[in-house]
Amino acid sequence: MHKSILITPLLMAITGSLNAEVIRPTGFQGGQVRWQEQGNRTDDFESGSLNPSKWQNAPASLNVGAWTFAQPNAYVNNGRLIIETTQETHTRSFQDSCWDGVAGGSSQTVQRKLFYKSGAVRSSVEGVYGFYEAKIKGVDIFPGLSPAFWLYSDGHPFPDRNEPGQYVDYSEIDIVELQQADWRSPTDFDDQFDMDHNLHARVEENGQIVWKRPKPNPEAQLLHYRAPFDPGLDFHTYAVENRPDKITWYVDGVEVGSKPNKWWHRPMHLIFSQGLRRHLIKYNSACQRADPNPDNVISQGFPEKARMQIEYVKTWKALPSVWIENPSQYQSTNYPTGGNLQVKVSYHGGSDDYVDSGNYNGITLNLIEKNASGLVRVVKSVNDPTTTNDDKKYAGDTTLNIGLSGVTPTAQLPNGHYYALAPVFKSSNGSTVYAQSAVANINITGSNNGGGNVAVTGVSLAPSSLSVEVNATKQLTPTVSPYNATNPSVYYYSDDSSIASVSDSGVVTGKKAGQTLVTVTTNDGTYTDSSTITVTAGSGSGGDNGGDNGGDTGSCDGSWVAVSSVSLSAPKTTLSPGETVTLSPTVLPACASNKNVTYSTSNKNAAIVNSSGVVTAKKAGTAVITVKTKNLGKTDTITITVK
C-alpha cells in the first residue's frame, strides 16, 4: 500500500476537463493514448503542390542503378501526392563498384542505359520514435512495381558506430512495401494481396560493417502479411509505431505484427517511393544487386496505370498516458466492502519517455472520493513497481488489486459524494501523468454478511487447453465461484484474434494455425482464468502446414502432400453489372497439405475478384479469372461475361 499522494496536482487533473478533439491514429480509441501531431511530417496535400519546407523531391542520396528517381515523377494533384513510374529509355552516370563483374571493388563512373523513371519524396526533417501513418492506393500494374512507405537514416557513416551499445550505421523501417511479387520459395511468388513490413540495418561487427537483411533473419526482421484486399483497388491505411523497445505495424488500424527494436534508433527520414520489381529488372548475382532488364521493356500502361496515390500522411508523438480499459465494467459492478476491486490499468510511457519510479514507484491506482467540487480524499492506493523495469517501462498494462476492507459503502457517503478510480504515474520527463478522466461512480456496497450482495471469489475456465481446426468452433465453459454469486457475468479476450477469436458466449473460432491464449474475466471482481488454444490447419481447411517439397505428391499418411492440380467452377458465368458470384476451386489431391489459392482478373473494368473468390461484375465486357495455388503455382481459368 502506498499513500504518499500529491493532493494538489491530483485535484487539478481530476477536476479539469479535456474537451478539445484529439486527432489520433486509425484504430486507437479516445481517452487512451494522448497523441501530439508532428506538423513537419504531416500533410493532406490540399495545397496544390509539394511544400518545400516539408518535402524533398528525388533526393540525390537516393541513387539506384536499375532506374532513375526523377522530380517530374512525383507531384501533387487533386489533393493527393502522386508517385508515378514512366517508361523512358535514357542514359545517366552511375558509380559502379561492380563494373568489372566483381562485387566490392573500387567504383568507376559508367554511363548506364536505363529504361524507367520513377518518383520518391522524403521528409526534410528526421525523427526516431513515434507513430507514422499514411492512406495509400497502390497501382494497377502487377507485377513490376512496388509502392513503398518507409523510414531510413541518412548521414552515415556515423562517427559513433563503433562505440559500445551503438554499432549501428544504418536504420531502415519498411512501413509497407506493396505488390512486390516477392519469392517465398523457388517455385512460389507472392500475388497482389501479399505485402511486406520489414526491417533493414547495417551494423559494425568485429570491425566490419555488415548488412542485416530480413530473409536471413526472419524472426527479428521479416514481417509478411497477406491482406484481405487488393491494395491496387482502393485506399487503405498503413502505419508503424517505433518505440525504444519494439516496432509495431498496422494495416487499416489493425495490428499485423511487431518486432523487438534492436537497431532502429537512428534519426530517419519518412519517404514515399515506387521501385521496380520482377519482371522489369533482373537480379545480378555476381554483383549482388538489381540491374535494368533490357529484355523486357514494357511501355503499355505507363504512366496511367503506374501511379501510386497518397491521400495523407500523419506523424504523431505519443505523450505519456495512462487509462483504464472498458471503464463501464467497473461502473456496472457492485463491490462489497471487505472484498477486492481488481482493475486492469494500461499505460504508454510516451514516444520519448517512460515510466519512472518517482513519487509513485511505478503505475499507481487510487480509489478516490469526490464531490461536485472535485477531490475530497484518496481512500485507497496500490502500485506496481515492476512497471519501471526495462521490459515494462515503455508501455503495457498491469492488474492492480485494491482491498476494500474498511471502505465506507457508497450509500453511506455524504450527499453528492461518490467514488472514482484514478490511475497515475511519474514520467521520466519529470511530469506527473494522470488519466484523461477518472472512472466515476464506483459502487461499494455493504458487507456480504446477512444475505445481501454475494461477491464473486473466482472463476475457472474449462478446458484449460483445447485444439481447434481452422474455421471450426469449440465451446469454452466458465465456472464462477461461489455458485450463488449475485453477478456471475463474464467477458472473454483472445491474445491474438488473428489465430483464434472468441465470442461473448465463449465460442472459440480457429482462424489460422498457431497458438494463443483466451482469457475469461468476471465483471464482479475481475477474476481471471485462461485456456491455451491451439489452432491446426486440419485436413480441409487449406492451411499451410509446411514447406514446398517440389513435385512430390506424397501420400495421405500425415506427411507433406504437394498440389497436383486445381480446377475452377462457378454457378454462372454471365453476370449483370453489380452482380456477384462465388468461385469454387477444387485442389487435388484432396489431402494436399497447402490448398491455399489466389485469384486475379484479366480485366478489372469488366470484373474484379477478391481473395475469397467472390467475383463482382463492373461493366459490360469479359474477364478471364485465374486461380493459382500457393503451392507449386498450379492454375486454371474461367471466363466471366458481363452484359
Which residues have CB under 8 Å from 499's CB, separation 6+? Answer: 510, 511, 512, 513, 514, 515, 516, 533, 535
Q: What is the CATH number of domain 565-642?
A: 2.60.40.1080
Apex 268 CA angle, 263 and 269, nearest 5? 155
Q: What pLDDT was estimated at residue 433?
A: 97
What is the SS3 assignment for 231? coil
Query: What kind of architecture, by CATH, is found in domain 458-536?
Result: Sandwich (2.60)
Q: Point out the residues of the chain with pLDDT beneath 70.
A: 1-22, 162, 164-166, 185-187, 447-453, 483-484, 538-560
Q: What is the pLDDT of residue 4?
A: 35
Q: Which of 257, 326, 259 is nearest to 498 (CA)?
A: 257
Q: What is the pLDDT of residue 165?
A: 62
pLDDT at 540: 42
The pLDDT score that the predictor gives to residue 589 is: 84
Please report how many Cα atoms fall inside a 13 Å half-sphere around the Cα of residue 584, on the Cβ side.
Answer: 5
Q: Identify the pLDDT of residue 523.
A: 85
Angstrom distance (rounded) from CA 210 to CA 214: 13
Contact 331, 440 (CB under 8 A): yes
Distance, in Å, from the CA atom of 11 to the CA atom of 339, rounded to the nearest integer, reads 27
Q: Which tens digits make up the pLDDT trace of 212-221?
A: 999 999 999 9
Distances (CA, A) of 141 to 82, 99, 179, 283: 15, 32, 9, 20
Buried b (16+ CB within 10 A) or exposed e, 385-396: eebbeeebbbbb
* Residue whose grid cell is 466515476: 440
Bridge-based pairing of strands 500-502 and 507-510 is: antiparallel
C-alpha 182/C-alpha 306 separation (Å) is 18
36-152+174-188+224-257+273-317 and 565-642 agree in CATH topology: no
CATH architecture of structural domain 36-152+174-188+224-257+273-317: Sandwich (2.60)
For residue 72, the SS3 value is helix
Nearest 10 degrees: Cα torsion 12, 17, 22, 27: 90
CA 538 to chain centre: 27
Tell me, what's the pLDDT at 25? 96
Q: Which CATH number fits domain 7-20+320-445: 3.40.50.10190, 3.40.50.620, 2.60.40.1930, 1.10.1270.20?
A: 2.60.40.1930
Tell me phi and psi for residue 177, to 5 degrees: -120, 115
* CA distances in angstroms from 527 to 407, 530, 642, listed in the order given: 20, 11, 57
pLDDT value at residue 9 = 44
Tell me the domain boundaries of the chain.
Answer: 7-20+320-445, 36-152+174-188+224-257+273-317, 458-536, 565-642
User: Residue 62 to residues 49, 83, 128, 502: CA-CA distances in angstroms?
Assistant: 22, 15, 20, 47
Q: How many residues belong to the chain?
A: 643
∠ at Cα 288 (285, 291), nearest 5°? Answer: 80
For residue 15, give the nearest of 418, 438, 443 by alpha carbon. Answer: 438
